[in-house]
Amino acid sequence: MIDKAEESYRLFKKTGRGKEAKLVKQKLEEALFAKEHLYHVMNLDFSKPTQKLRDMAIKNHIDLRDDTVIEEFKRIQE
């Protein structure tokens, strides 16, 4: 999907369709960011959270001391 979006971006840019190229580039950047973010989230170790992860959890009202919560995060990561 990302390859096709990159190809579309190049094609739009080459054919002078700047508005479409800009839109595709924006969506491509969003997709790449989401892909990278998902990779990092899927590799977090919720059983040994870093201070940054604990702070984020507190901010979002998530109790990482609750075994049920930890098990649910592990299940999601599978």
pLDDT of residue 2: 80
pLDDT tens for 50-63 read 999 899 889 999 99
What whole-number distance in Å separates Cα of residue 5 and Cα of residue 74?
A: 32
pLDDT tens for 38-50 read 887 788 888 888 9
Is the sign of the CA dihedral 24, 25, 29, 35 positive or negative? Answer: positive
CB of 27 closer than 8 Å to CB of 1: no
pTM above 0.75, yes or no: no
